[in-house]
Structure 1
Amino acid sequence: MAVIKQRRFQLDRPLSAAGANLLGEELRSMMGIQAVGLHGDTVSITYDLIQATAEQLEAKMAEVGARLGEGWAERLRRGFVHYIEECEVGSLEVDPRHRHGRPRHG
């Protein structure tokens, strides 16, 4: 099972050619990454939420030296994405006492 997501991350400034190559390589090396696109100060990533989260992608970008935009709207959007993904992953977890989201009777 895969839960495919596509996200765009806004950087605080465009990366150099070398920085963009490094970031692309590092992101593609992560499990669950299907596609990475770098266009100016925007990073587009398609990934499987079961194997990677936006928060992990952001951490990898920071590790490589790419700084995300720090405007309040951008920070709010990222926080909302983290919350939505956390809820979605939580809803996919299987509770052995339930089947298809309904309690078993018996």
Structure 2
Amino acid sequence: MKNITSASTLIAALFLTTIVGCAATSKQESTGQYVDDTVITSAVKASILNEPTLKVNEINVETYKGVVQLSGFVRSEDNIATAIRIARGVSGVTAVKNAMRLK
């Protein structure tokens, strides 16, 4: 009986540690948020790739907790506006930060 109680306590402690270890903090993403951000980043890159006026190799995309940051060097103000509009249109994006510059 004592072994069963000890084993149950150990399993509960390991389970609780696992849950707390995967939780998000204000400065760190949870595993689920990281996966969501990866999906958002991929979707934004794909949308930029499908836009004929933009060059995907000129624009870097990073996502953290749904906030997309676009950076890189582009050819025109229109390209900046188009990239921002495309990023905002992707599902899961909560905000877009622009760090793109003109060549």
Answer with 1 or 2: which has the greater Rg: 2
TM-score, with length taken from structure 2: 0.39
Q: Which structure carries more relative contact order (alpha carbon 8 Å, separation 6+)?
A: 1
Which structure shows the higher helix fraction? Answer: 2
TM-score, with length taken from structure 1: 0.38
